[in-house]
Structure 1
Amino acid sequence: MSFLAQSLSRVKPSATIAVTNKARELKAAGRDVIGLGAGEPDFDTPDNIKEAAIRAIRDGRTKYTAVDGIPELKAAIVEKFKRENNLAYTPAQISVGTGGKQVLYNALMATLNPGDEVLIPAPYWVSYPDMVLLAGAEPTFIDASMATGFKVTADALDAAITPKTKWLIFNSPSNPSGAAYTRAELRAIADVLLKHPHVWVMTDDMYEHLVYDDFVFATLAEVEPALTDRTLTVNGVSKAYCMTGWRIGYAGGPAQLIKAMANIQSQSTSNPCTISQWAAVEALNGPQDFIPRNNKVFKERRDLVVSMLNQARGLHCPTPEGAFYVYPSCEGLIGRTAPSGKRIETDEDFVSELLEAEGVAVVQGSAFGLGPNFRISYATATSDLEEACTRIQRFCGSLT
């Protein structure tokens, strides 16, 4: 319709949300569907966090707060960064938003101009490019294929930087691949960035605590303190604390940038939900012992899914270091024919036919900028995962 903004023509709806909604619709219509599209832990929010929210309600802490976070939450975030990441921030360097997505969006809206470029390793979280486009700039992609463990190399990054590059968006552990960068790999990335002082870095550390085996998480500003003055370190309580619906994300960065982000937020949403902020204080300051317990279950699920997918004809599934996703390749099935008679030409064809034939909802790799792959979230009941993988094996075996 002509009265809609032209900028909307530059963006598309979130593919992960679309898959989740499609699965819900099919379930409501009576189909037996297993949805593996949502990046959301199936564990409940811990009781101590719930009680903190209830206490805030009972104590009347239900009024407007400072635009970008209550002092108590900013103090908890400052302490978290110091304790876990060896990063020193003041409260004036902390931004709190309605989820990590708003924090990222605020930063891009506050800094980007027409003609600016933002480097994004592919595969990427579906929202990064569209947020850049909405901010009026151009996303530029760097290949981070299966051959390099879904990680961008220092040489590839160096070659991709131009005078127009304003930001690098850097996500580790990664959505969608689960790939996580070692300290040595971060060191190589940091060395490239030191050569290009005009490039700012947005590190999306949302899956920081969701790492497995002997992997040790690190973040870029921690590895190279000289990057701190041009790094926005973004995190949140959604994933590790099982608080997706509470909508609290946060970031630490240069005070001038944080102030600009607050200006954007003051004219869009104002403060995040007061009750959720008090719950987040408890999440960051309270017991952390449930995180390794949850991770033990996630690791078992990861190992189950990787093993079963690698037993499916035509699939190849690497073992990720973190997050709760796998990103298998279906290249070995391209050109085959589904039971419906449709020829599988793309990963989107694969996931569409899988949903139709077996009632398993996954997300096509093309939505994340790299195919032919698809993403599975294993943040769901183990029994559902086992059944879903059995169906995927059956579907792959049925292709002719």
Structure 2
Amino acid sequence: MAAFSESDTLKRVKPSPTLAVTAKARELARQGKKVISLGAGEPDFDTPENICDAAVKAIKRGETRYTDVDGIPELKAAICEKFKRENGLDYKTTQVHVAPGGKPVIYNAMMASLNPGDEVVIPAPYWVSYPDMVLLAGGTPVFAVGEMSTGFKLLPETLEAAITPKTKWLILNSPSNPSGAAYTGAELKALGEVLKRHPQVWILTDDMYEHLTFDNFEYTTIAQVVPELYDRTLTMNGVSKAYSMTGWRIGYAAGPEPLIKAMQKIESQSTSNPCSIAQWAAVEALNGPQDFIAERAAIFQKRRDLVVAMLNNAKGIHCPTPEGAFYVYPTIKDLIGKQAPSGKIINSDEDFAGELLQQEEVAVVHGAAFGLSPFFRISYATSEAVLTEACSRIQRFCASLK
């Protein structure tokens, strides 16, 4: 039998580092270790009962068959209403694309539009999957760094320097995974001024954490504050984070009809339609009560404040305070070169994360996975008791470095 060989396309990408950390933590837990995993990016709250009830009713109505490839009309209508109500954006249902999660939305957009040699500007630190989806689609990721000194945000001059005649897309994520940085309306307008000078550049704005902002932050999205970019912006969102529906796998986006039709063609030959039952649950999520979202965001803010305070009391760590999402992205630059009790020298954030897991059984994701070192990411989507214990272990680990 012939040996299996990966395709050249697959060889260009790597497995998800965040999923790898979670899997490693689970394996150690199965061995009896008392591991605290702070790697997964999903809310620890249950899906609201009214949304679950809507799914049950859909099953009982027999809504268990194939649907339109990229979403039922009822869900597309609910998405249009959401964009109008919350973002002041007008879309027709023919401008809406629904997929089995946010990741397939991005993948479909890249596959539908990129040719070899096309470049995609990705601000770093970035969500781990952006570059690899660009590579799978045959494009070339170009990284534009948002430094800690600028709040991990992309400056207009940095964006300008990254754009070339080959640039096809800018992927913008606010609030950000992994840093939690969120762009103000003024900051988006400044980036928009750059983009207006480069009409060949399309914008994919990943707004998945829109409803998880803190300290009375006023959320805006780029097509809202720079309407001149409306005709080349794909505004993406989903029900995973705000509605605690990660496993339901519903992401959506709205944009120009030619792009949406092209994305529909990709989906028709890959996943086909998103789960019919999950789509009806998403209709209820978008149309039903929304008050619990602010209540849960307030809980996340308390957790953020706890984690930021405790990490800033850890020797050699500096942790900025993020505006949103449920992550912190602290630096360990003052710990590089230190020696762990095992004898290993901490030469990188990957070394730090590995030694922390082995010595204190706390799983975090190293910063190199997100394109900016030396940092690490913590997801604080878990209880205050668990976070207090985890941060105490991190403090103990840092104190043990010599």
| Structure-2-length-normalised TM-score | 0.99
1:357 aligned to 359, 372, 381, which one?
359
Between the aligned partners of 2:391 and 2:4, the Cα distance in structure 1 is: 45
Q: Aligned ranges for residues 1-400 of structure 1 at < 5 Å?
A: 3-400=5-402
Give 1:278 deviation, angstroms: 0.2
Give 1:8 deviation, angstroms: 1.2
Between the aligned partners of 1:296 and 1:151, the Cα distance in structure 2 is: 24
Between the aligned partners of 2:94 and 2:341, the Cα distance in structure 1 is: 59
Amino acid of the structure 1 residue aligned with 2:300: F
Between the aligned partners of 2:63 and 2:162, the Cα distance in structure 1 is: 48
Between the aligned partners of 2:218 and 2:21, the Cα distance in structure 1 is: 32
CA-to-aligned-CA distance 1:35-89 (integer Å, 9 cap, x gap)? 0000000000000000000000011111100000000000000000000001100
Identity %: 69
**Matched residue of 2:134: which SS?**
helix
CA-to-aligned-CA distance 1:134-169 (integer Å, 9 cap, x gap)? 001100000111011000000110111000000000
Amino acid of the structure 2 residue aligned with 1:248: I
Amino acid of the structure 1 residue aligned with 2:141: P
- Count residues in correspondence: 400
Give 1:3 deviation, angstroms: 3.1
Amino acid of the structure 1 residue aligned with 2:117: G
Between the aligned partners of 2:161 and 2:297, the Cα distance in structure 1 is: 37
CA-to-aligned-CA distance 1:259-309 (integer Å, 9 cap, x gap)? 000000000010000000000000000000110110111000000000000
Between the aligned partners of 2:291 and 2:146, the Cα distance in structure 1 is: 34
**Matched residue of 2:171: which SS?**
strand
Between the aligned partners of 1:373 and 1:363, the Cα distance in structure 2 is: 9
**Matched residue of 2:121: which SS?**
strand
Between the aligned partners of 1:117 and 1:235, the Cα distance in structure 2 is: 23
Show structure 1 runs of 5+ residues with no match: none
CA-to-aligned-CA distance 1:66-113 (integer Å, 9 cap, x gap)? 000000000000000000001100000000000000000000000000
Amino acid of the structure 2 residue aligned with 1:360: V
Between the aligned partners of 2:23 and 2:91, the Cα distance in structure 1 is: 39
**Matched residue of 2:170: which SS?**
strand
Between the aligned partners of 1:27 and 1:3, the Cα distance in structure 2 is: 33
CA RMSD in angstroms, aligned pairs only:
0.6
Amino acid of the structure 1 residue aligned with 2:312: N
Between the aligned partners of 2:154 and 2:28, the Cα distance in structure 1 is: 37
**Matched residue of 2:187: which SS?**
helix
Give 1:214 deviation, angstroms: 1.6
Between the aligned partners of 1:216 and 1:234, the Cα distance in structure 2 is: 18
CA-to-aligned-CA distance 1:315-352 (integer Å, 9 cap, x gap)? 00000000000000011100000011000000000000
**Matched residue of 1:118: which SS?**
strand
Amino acid of the structure 2 residue aligned with 1:338: A
Amino acid of the structure 2 residue aligned with 1:144: G
Amino acid of the structure 2 residue aligned with 1:226: E
**Matched residue of 2:213: which SS?**
coil
Between the aligned partners of 2:40 and 2:279, the Cα distance in structure 1 is: 24
Amino acid of the structure 2 residue aligned with 1:99: G
Amino acid of the structure 2 residue aligned with 1:82: K
Give 1:2 deviation, angstroms: 5.4
| Structure-1-length-normalised TM-score | 0.99
